[in-house]
Structure 1
Amino acid sequence: MRQRSILVRPGAVGISGLLLPFLLTACSSSGAGSADRLGTPSGSLPSAASTATANTSPPGSPAPKEGAQALEGNEAVTAYQSWWDVQVDVLGRSNSDGTPLRQYATGAAFTETVISLTQLHDSKLVMIGRPVTSPVLKSLDQRANPPTATIDDCLDVSGWHQADAGTKKIRDPQPRLSRYPATVVVKKYGNRWLVAEFTREEGKTC
C-alpha cells in the first residue's frame, strides 16, 4: 500500500515519537532488506540511471535512453537529487527557515518538508548525516502540462538521523524502517524541474 509521506506530530508521545517522512517507524518480519544488511552509505548521492529503450516518449512511455528527451529525463533526476541535497542542508540546521526549498520543490513535496522542518524546530532536533538515493527514471511525458517525469527510488536513510540540536545526540524513533522504495513525481515549470510528489511504499523495504 502506498502512503504519502505525511508527518505525525509527537504530541503526548514525546520527542521519541516524532515521525519524519524519511525516518519511518516500521518493523520487518524477515531479515531481507533490513538495515543490518545494508552497505555503508556513501557520502554523496549516486548518479542517475535510466531504464527504458525507446528514443521517443509519447504519453505513458518509458524513459528514453538517447537524444534530447534522455537529457530531459536526466535533468529531472538531477533535480530530484538536488532536492535531497537541499533537504539535508535545511533539515540539518536549527536556524533554517526552509526558503531554499522553493527552488527545488512544489506542492505536496514542498509542504511536507516544511512540516518536517517545523516539527524538528519545535522538538529542538536536527537531522545529521545524509541519506543515499538510487533514482531510476521510470517514465517521461513531455506532452503533459506541465511536462512530468516519474522516478523510482530505493531510499536508504540508515545514515541519516534525528539528533538533539545542541548535543547532536541521536534521537531516532524506534523501531524505524531505514530503507524503503519510493515513487517521485517531478514536474517542469519553465526551464526548471521541481519535485512535486514523494510517495513511499508503506511496509516495504528494498
Structure 2
Amino acid sequence: MRVWQSRRWEICLLSLALVVGVAGCGSGSEVAAGPLAGRAAAPATHSPAEESAAEKAALAAYSGYLAASRTASVRSDPSHPALNRFLADPLLTRVRVAIRDAKEHGAMRTGKLVSDPTVVSVDLTADPPTVEIQDCLDARGYRLVYAKDRKTVPGTRGGRYLATATAARYPDGRWLITTGDAHQDQPC
C-alpha cells in the first residue's frame, strides 16, 4: 500500500512537471463565460491581418501562461491570480491541482524553462475560434525539488521535448489557453 501511495505521489508530481512546464497580476475577473460560440462569433472569411492578430494574441496568452504557471509553482500557490488571466478550463483546473499536489508533498519548481513556441494553425471560423501552438520546451534547467532541502524529486526529469497547446477566444476578446500537453517522449 505504501509503495502504491509513493508511486502515485511520484506520478502526480511528474504530472505537475509536465503540466506546469508547458505553463503578471490578474485582472480580478474570473472566466465565467465560455468561449465564443455560434455563427455570430466570427465572420466567414478573415484577412491575413486578423489571423496575424489572433496568432500574436494567442502567443502572448501562451507566454503569460508559462510565466504565471512558473510563478504559481515557485510560490506553491494554486490560486495565484495570474493563472486566471491566461488559462481557462480544463487546463486551469489541471494546473491548479498539480500545484496543490506538489505543495501538499513539499515540492516546488525551481530553475528556468526555455520556450520556443510557434503557431501551427489558426481557425477563426471554429466554434470557438482557436489557435494551435507547438513548442519545443527546454526543461533541462527546470526542476521539481523538495522545498525543504532543494533536492530533486525522484522520477522527475528535464530535457527538451515537444509541447502543444490550444488557445481559444472568449466573449470578452481575450485569448486563453484551454489545453496543453507535454510530450516528453517526443524530443525536439
TM tier, smaller: 0.7 to 0.9
Match of 1:87 in 2: 69
Structure 2: how far apart are the matches of 1:85 and 1:176? 20
Q: Which amino acid aligns with 2:187?
A: T
List aligned pairs for 1:110-189, cutoff 5 A: 110-167=92-149, 169-174=150-155, 176-189=157-170
List aligned pairs for 1:96-115, cutoff 5 A: 97-115=79-97
Whether the aligned pair in 2 keeps the contact of 1:23 and 1:178 (CA below 8 Å) is no
SS at match of 2:114: coil
Report the more deviating stretch, 88-97 or 152-161: 88-97
Q: Which amino acid aligns with 2:166?
A: V
Match of 1:71 in 2: 53
Structure 2: how far apart are the matches of 1:161 and 1:173? 11
Shift of 1:15: 6.0
Q: Which amino acid aligns with 1:170?
A: K
Shift of 1:128: 0.8
5+ long unaligned stretches in structure 1: 1-9, 25-57
SS at match of 1:19: helix
SS at match of 2:148: coil
Structure 2: how far apart are the matches of 1:113 and 1:82? 14
1:11 aligns with 2:5: yes
Match of 2:37 in 1: none
Identity value in percent:
23
The two structures have a TM-score, normalised by structure 2, of: 0.73
Whether the aligned pair in 2 keeps the contact of 1:134 and 1:154 (CA below 8 Å) is yes
Q: Which amino acid aligns with 2:152?
A: R
Is the alpha carbon distance of 1:130 and 1:102 closer, same or farther for their aligned partners in structure 2, counting shifts above 3 Å?
Answer: same
Structure 2: how far apart are the matches of 1:145 and 1:16? 37
Match of 2:15 in 1: 20
SS at match of 1:20: helix
Shift of 1:112: 1.4
Structure 2: how far apart are the matches of 1:131 and 1:159? 7
Deviation track 1:101-137 (CA, whole Å, cap 9, x = no partner) reads 1221112211211121111111111111121111001
Higher fraction of helix: 2
Across the aligned residues of Structure 1 and Structure 2, the Cα RMSD in angstroms comes to 2.8
Is the alpha carbon distance of 1:139 and 1:145 closer, same or farther for their aligned partners in structure 2, counting shifts above 3 Å?
Answer: same
Match of 2:28 in 1: none
Whether the aligned pair in 2 keeps the contact of 1:22 and 1:157 (CA below 8 Å) is no
Structure 2: how far apart are the matches of 1:111 and 1:96? 9
Q: Which amino acid aligns with 1:139?
A: S
Q: Which amino acid aligns with 1:86?
A: A
Tell me which stretches of 4 or more aligned residues in structure 1 moved more than 4 Å.
14-17
